[in-house]
Amino acid sequence: MTETATTIVNNLSQAIAQQTAKVGVVGLGYVGLPLLDAYISAGYSAIGYDVDAKKTETLNKGESYIAHIEGSKIQAWLDKDKFEATTVMERLDEADVILICVPTPLSDSRDPDLKYVEMTTEAIAKRLRPGQMVILESTTYPGTTKDVLLPILTKTGLEPGKDFFLAYSPEREDPGNPDFTAGTIPKVVGGLEPHSLKLATEFYEKAITQVIPVDSCEVAEACKILENTYRSVNIAMVNELKVLFQRIGIDVWEVIEAAKTKPFGFQAFYPGPGLGGHCIPIDPFYLSWVARKHGIPTKFIELAGEINTSMPLYVIHKLAEALNQNGKPIKGSKIGVFGVAYKKDVDDPRESPSFKLMELLEERGAELSYVDPHIPKLPKMRHFVVPDLCSEEPTPEYISSLDCVLIATDHTAFKWDEIVKHASLVVDTRNATKDLVNGREKICKA
Ligand SMILES: NC(=O)c1ccc[n+]([C@@H]2O[C@H](COP(=O)([O-])OP(=O)(O)OC[C@H]3O[C@@H](n4cnc5c(N)ncnc54)[C@H](O)[C@@H]3O)[C@@H](O)[C@H]2O)c1
């Protein structure tokens, strides 16, 4: 290595150690904001970049748009002069370490859509200067950092491992989980070459409890996809067993509670109305796309996708049967969907199965309403025609006016005993009513 290259590595290493390195986070969403929190709490100054001016303006006013990051926290960052949000990508050269946290969705044909990652990398390349480190945190298929980011960044004429550094570290954020924050979830990191790995490891060690360096960016990329494919496959398995067990009169949730007592060799996964969120329904398909390119079948991924996407229809069949027992068809029945966020206690509706449930109910002529304390108005969704509805107050009058309560998300805020007391029928897809003693005859698990 030349003397200049050694100096560049040493300077960045020192700036990281002394907390003088400026952290840039691109994409100020569910992943970007918690990461900013971890680094600002560790003493760094940070700039947040986003194309959405509403988000940057909100943050610069000391307000938040994500439930588990309070506005007062952002105001404290601003008060201490530790943070600024901007839409001006020309300022990307101000950051010493740039963390890319932009969306990685699927295209309409269910292929990886890397346009946000590519646009961000192009914007970084325009201002790339010696001494910067770029780390991709978005979930993606193995090979993205080397095959997509690297060629864009090297077009600048700067050399990786000498002038700039490149790494991949998957984000494992679990929104709504009070037991973990970005700083306490172990972080896997892979570097493009040894200097990138060394610097990225040093960087994460300053703000994250445990850092796990791995051999390459591809190992780190594959690690994240393995974790999410594992979840998808196991959820599909319990969903399949739910259908079987319900047919033969066994409560699948009771079975899982019993199996969970085995102290080794079993991890509990729970059935539900279908997959939701930005990760589990999407990420495995990033891997199956790579597999297709290599002519390798990924039967587990495809089958899990098939089973999980069939769950909303199964729930609607169960609901139709239960209504029928009460002498009612779906058509014209008043159905209240409880919970439209994709999981408990979050305000994130992305890919939530509740939207599929609402679509299926609407197609069958139900009179729909919903209750979700975290989602006051139904947002527009890419794949669904969403009814123009606001969340109802779950008053006794409202609940008793319904022909059926459909529990789609088990938010802690819901008072299950009150709901069951006033409802004429409850279809429970989450086992939310498991502890209730009264009114069990009105509950149908689905
Ligand atoms: N949400 C989670 O729980 C979670 C967990 C682990 C990993 N991930 C992964 O992290 C990544 C980000 O997910 P998220 O949930 O934070 O998404 P998000 O939609 O909440 O946030 C992404 C942000 O990026 C911004 N953005 C889009 N294009 C941009 C561009 N070209 N330049 C600057 N900003 C841009 C958007 O405006 C948005 O604010 C995805 O790859 C996701 O799979 C998410």
Report the predicted TM-score, pTM, of the whole model to 2 decimal places.
0.93
Residues whose CB falls within 8 Å of the CB of residue 255, separated by 6 or more in sequence, listed in order: 241, 245
> What's the pLDDT tens digit per position in 45-55?
999 999 999 99
Contact 139, 164 (CB under 8 A): no
Active site residues: 279
CATH 3.40.190.10 is the classification of domain 231-445 = no
**Distance in angstroms (rounded) separating the CA atoms of residues 189 and 201:** 7
Radius of gyration (Cα) for the chain, nearest Å?
24
> What's the pLDDT tens digit per position in 420-435?
999 999 999 999 999 9
- Domain boundary assignment for the chain: 3-215, 231-445
Sign of the alpha-carbon torsion through 65, 76, 46, 345: negative
Quick one: fold of 3-215? Rossmann fold (3.40.50)
Residue 391 alpha carbon to ligand 1 centre in Å:
26
Q: What is the pLDDT of residue 36?
A: 97
Residue 29 alpha carbon to ligand 1 centre in Å:
5
**Distance in angstroms (rounded) separating the CA atoms of residues 375 and 347:** 6
Q: Is 55 in the pocket of ligand 1 (CB under 6 A)?
A: yes
**Distance in angstroms (rounded) separating the CA atoms of residues 420 and 106:** 39
CA 30 to chain centre: 7
Low-confidence ranges of the chain (pLDDT < 50): none
> What's the pLDDT tens digit per position in 135-183?
999 999 999 999 999 999 999 999 999 999 999 999 998 888 889 999 9
The reply to whether 231-445 shares the fold of 3-215 is yes
In the chain, the N- to C-terminal Cα span, in Å, equals: 63
Mean pLDDT of all residues belonging to the chain: 96
User: Atom 15, ligand 1: which residue's CA is nearest?
Assistant: 30
Q: What is the pLDDT of residue 175?
A: 83
Mutate to test the pocket of ligand 1, among 26, 49, 50 (most ligand atoms within 8 A of CB): 50
